[in-house]
């Protein structure tokens, strides 16, 4: 049976852009014109996606000093408005109609070499926070991306077993301490995995997950997300 998206493609029904309130014939919540207001990251560290001042560099100073457990990170846009507001709408106001738009931010920009992965794994939420929010935003994006790329999406290979304070507002040292030993990872046959999340801030969460997976025999951990908080260059 055709999906709603397939019916829309066949009928060419117009919809209203959430940003400019104009009708458009696209299939996402944001029109093509308003895509131009997103701020891309042209050059970034391959390990943590921190924006770099020029494309001559491949690794930031922080990752050179201490190599993270994450091997590759992809984040195409800066966490700035209007994308900041859209991500908040998605996460905190149940804006599930934005899933396609956010997933396409990854799909339309993903380098070919990044697709050499065996499975996608959403960054988990603790059950207490999941009950409050009602859904895991990383899982929704991961399922959409996995279906589009025909890559398995594994929902049960890791769990967050300790309910922690929100990372926002904590110092860098407290962020690391807040995430110590909070994840439980199940061993599997996968050796190359990709963690999926909506937003990357310090990278501490995905780095702790990558560490746990590598302790179980995984050899390569990538991270894909929609946006990254970053210094301005």
**One domain for residues 127 and 26:** no
Residue 8's contacts (CB-CB under 8 Å, 6 or more residues apart) are 15, 27
pLDDT at 11 over 50: no
- pLDDT bin (cut points 50, 70, 90) of residue 8 is very low
Residues 101-118 have a mean pLDDT of: 92
Task: For residue 233, tell me if it sits in a domain.
Answer: no
Long-range contacts of 209-216, Cβ-Cβ distance < 8 Å, separation of 24 or more: 209/123, 209/158, 209/183, 209/185, 210/68, 210/69, 210/70, 210/71, 211/69, 212/158, 212/183, 212/184, 212/185, 213/158, 213/185, 214/69, 215/185, 216/185, 216/186, 216/187, 216/188
**One domain for residues 31 and 118:** no
pLDDT at 9 over 50: no
**One domain for residues 75 and 10:** no
Task: For residue 30, tell me if it sits in a domain.
Answer: yes
Report residue 228 as tokens.
């990254």
Residues 126-144 have a mean pLDDT of: 89
Q: How many domains does the structure of the chain reveal?
A: 2
Residue 77's contacts (CB-CB under 8 Å, 6 or more residues apart) are 38, 39, 40, 41, 83, 105, 226, 227, 228
| Low-confidence winner among 46-60, 98-112, 160-174, 195-209 (lowest mean pLDDT) | 160-174
**One domain for residues 214 and 146:** yes
Residues 67-96 have a mean pLDDT of: 95
159: phi then psi, degrees, rounded to nearest 5: -135, 150
195: phi then psi, degrees, rounded to nearest 5: -90, 135
The per-residue pLDDT for 114 is 85
Rounded distance between C-alpha atoms, residue 60 and residue 87, angstroms: 26
Provide the residue range defining the domain that includes 84.
41-228
Rounded distance between C-alpha atoms, residue 21 and residue 41, angstroms: 26
The per-residue pLDDT for 134 is 81
Greater confidence (226 vs 129) lies with 226
What is the pTM (predicted TM-score) of this model? Answer: 0.87
The per-residue pLDDT for 165 is 59
pLDDT at 58 over 50: yes
What percent of the chain stands above pLDDT 90?
A: 60
The per-residue pLDDT for 20 is 94
């Amino acid at each position: 049976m055709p999906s709603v998206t397939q019916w829309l493609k066949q009928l060419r029904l117009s919809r209203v852009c959430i940003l400019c309130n104009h009708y458009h014939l696209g299939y996402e919540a944001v029109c093509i014109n308003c895509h131009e207001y997103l701020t891309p990251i042209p050059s970034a560290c391959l390990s943590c996606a921190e924006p770099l001042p020029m494309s001559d560099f491949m690794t930031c100073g922080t990752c050179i000093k201490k190599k993270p457990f994450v091997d590759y990170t992809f984040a195409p846009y800066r966490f700035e408005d209007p994308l900041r507001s859209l991500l908040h709408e998605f996460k905190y106001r149940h804006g599930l109609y934005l899933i396609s738009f956010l997933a396409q931010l990854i799909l339309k920009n993903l380098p070919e070499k990044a697709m050499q992965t065996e499975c996608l794994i959403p960054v988990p939420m603790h059950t207490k926070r999941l009950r409050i929010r009602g859904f895991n935003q990383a899982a929704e994006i991961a399922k959409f991306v996995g279906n589009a790329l025909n890559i398995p999406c594994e929902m049960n290979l890791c769990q967050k077993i300790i309910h922690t304070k929100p990372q926002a507002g904590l110092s860098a040292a407290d962020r690391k301490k807040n995430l110590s030993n909070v994840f439980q990872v199940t061993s599997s046959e996968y050796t190359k995995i990709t963690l999926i999340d909506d937003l990357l801030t310090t990278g501490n969460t995905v780095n702790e997950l990558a560490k746990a997976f590598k302790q179980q025999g995984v050899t390569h951990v990538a991270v894909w997300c929609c946006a990254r908080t970053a210094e301005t260059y």
